Chain A
Amino acid sequence: MMCNDLWLKRIKKEFDSLWSCTVLGDTLKLTVPYVTLYNEFVDLYVTKRDNKYIVADGGQLNDFLIELKSKDNKLLNDCISLYMKEYNIHKTLGDQRLMYFKKTTDEFYLGTSVLHMSEFIKSVYSLIKIDSHQKEDKEVDTESDIFRKDATKFVNDIYGSHDNYQVSFNQRINNIKVSCEINSLKGKNLLQFITGGSEYYYRSFINNTSADFSVLNSNSAINEKIVLLDDRSDVYKKNKEQLDVYILEMASNLTRQPIFWSEKNKLTEYIPL
């Protein structure tokens, strides 16, 4: 089939049919042929104040950001700032609602204002959707997350309320990340929870801990350097032989033999109550 300009006519007709408007007081609500990733058409509000044409979002964008608690999201804020700068969009606060708008004194540029505001709203909404989608994916606990949670609870149950000890999690010592610090008047005890979603990550975690703990050798304030290894995960069970070699290697940089989850109560032998 030969291509022909009837296609363009047909497409244009369909696009044109999407425009619509409603008069609300002194404002024209305009629906434009732009769609967000939420499959919603973009609405704009157009009015005239002191010979200036205003094209505003009506406050919906900020309401939506608040609703999704995305207000402090860096990516979204950067995106909004860039659009505002690029398209000369401003914001104003009225009656608890933050509005984004563009203004022009010349009717000649009204179309440009509508295009810029449409692009802006469409893009930010779509980015919000992408962002919340990623968050949802992250919300599912992996096997490693569950191990970390269980290990945290286990340590907290033993030492958390003990008078002689102070427990803190996810600490940094000389920029080295440690899962847990169990400190007493006698000094610091470091405990690393080791797990991994794959053989590669598990092994990397062992090697990093080994190197990190070795670097901390000179730190005299540290009494014990201990690891708690996840031996109930499939990753460990399937790669036991390879991983055990690395665990053995790591042991020389520890103050105690590595503890496996299945024998976790050994911890109280190393750090007595």
Chain B
Amino acid sequence: MNLYEQLCNITDADKYSDVEFFYPSKLKHRHAPNQLVDDQKLSCDIVSQELDMRVEINKHDITNFKFSITYIDFIKEPFFRYDSKGVAHHNKKQNLQKGMITTPHFHKYDEEGDMYAYKTNDLISRPDEFKNVNAALYLFGEEANIIFSKGVPVVKLDETLFSLSQDPLEGITFDL
């Protein structure tokens, strides 16, 4: 079995967590002031090591967040991910028009190692509902086969850490 077949199997397998809440308050990188993260562990019967689940949220926009699962012993990048907002993904094996997958979307690997994006029926029919981080986390748990033994965790946000402006160019001067 190749690496990616195994990652597909882990994606499909049940994963367990007893986390009660996520509290993204740590800077993703020391020098990256815009992304707040919280990491927790997941266990999975088909692998001996624990998996890392991350909640990441943009300080400028609480509707811009990601959930991801990483199997660090296998591959550094997350193998399963939800993007609430941000750039559209290009599925290179698909027709150009159909292969443009706007956010929100999920990401996973195919068996040949290509990361592709897709939308579930819920995301197509009720996209606005999943701009809310907690609604999206519920959906993520279902799609990623995570069993939260203490119920779906709540994402706690410290509002003082956020600067809420939708327009990224607001307040910026473009003088030469």
Chain A contacts to B: CB under 8 angstroms = 13-15, 17-18, 20, 24-27, 31, 35, 39-43, 45, 47, 49, 52, 54, 56, 58-59, 63, 66-67, 69, 71, 90, 92, 94-97, 99, 101, 103, 136
Count residues on chain B whose CB falls below 8 Å from chain A CBs.
34
Q: Told that A14-B96, A15-B96 touch, could you supply 18 new A-B pairs with CB distance under 8 A?
A: A14-B97, A18-B96, A18-B97, A24-B166, A27-B170, A31-B87, A40-B90, A41-B88, A41-B90, A43-B86, A43-B87, A58-B169, A59-B168, A63-B32, A63-B34, A67-B28, A92-B173, A94-B171
Q: What chain A residues lie within 8 Å of B97 (beta carbons)? A: 13-14, 17-18
CA distance A25 to B60 in the complex (A): 14
Q: What chain B residues lie within 8 Å of A47 (beta carbons)? A: 169
In the bound complex, do residue A101 and residue B167 qualify as a contact, i.e. CB atoms below 8 Å apart? no
Q: What chain A residues lie within 8 Å of B86 (beta carbons)? A: 43
Task: Say how far B71's CB is from chain A's closest CB, in angstroms.
Answer: 16
9 closest cross-chain pairs (CB), A and B = A25-B167, A94-B172, A58-B168, A41-B88, A14-B96, A39-B90, A40-B87, A35-B90, A24-B167
Q: What is the chain A residue whose CB lies nearest that of B176?
A: A90
CA distance A14 to B100 in the complex (A): 10
In the bound complex, do residue B170 and residue A96 qualify as a contact, i.e. CB atoms below 8 Å apart? no
In the bound complex, do residue A39 and residue B166 qualify as a contact, i.e. CB atoms below 8 Å apart? no
Query: Chain B: interface secondary structure?
Result: loop
Inter-chain CB contacts under 8 Å: number: 94
CA distance A17 to B100 in the complex (A): 9
Q: What chain A residues lie within 8 Å of B168 (beta carbons)? A: 24, 27, 45, 56, 58-59, 97
Q: What chain A residues lie within 8 Å of B167 (beta carbons)? A: 24-27
Task: Say how far B10's CB is from chain A's closest CB, in angstroms.
Answer: 21
Q: What is the chain B residue whose CB lies nearest that of A102?
A: B174
CA distance A45 to B166 in the complex (A): 12
Q: What chain A residues lie within 8 Å of B32 (beta carbons)? A: 63, 66-67
Q: What are 7 A-to-B residue pairs whose CB atoms are below 8 Å?
A: A25-B166, A39-B89, A40-B90, A41-B89, A49-B174, A54-B169, A69-B31
In the bound complex, do residue A94 and residue B88 qualify as a contact, i.e. CB atoms below 8 Å apart? no
Q: What chain B residues lie within 8 Å of A58 (beta carbons)? A: 168-169
Q: Mark B78-97, 1 if CB is under 8 A from A, else 0.
A: 00000000111111100111
CA distance A120 to B33 in the complex (A): 24
| Complex partner residue of B100 from A18, A52, A69, A95, CB under 8 angstroms | A18
In the bound complex, do residue A99 and residue B172 qualify as a contact, i.e. CB atoms below 8 Å apart? yes
Task: Say how far B81's CB is from chain A's closest CB, in angstroms.
Answer: 13
In the bound complex, do residue B89 and residue A94 qualify as a contact, i.e. CB atoms below 8 Å apart? no
Asked, given contacts A45-B168, A94-B171, whether A40 binds B88 with beta carbons under 8 Å apart, the answer is yes
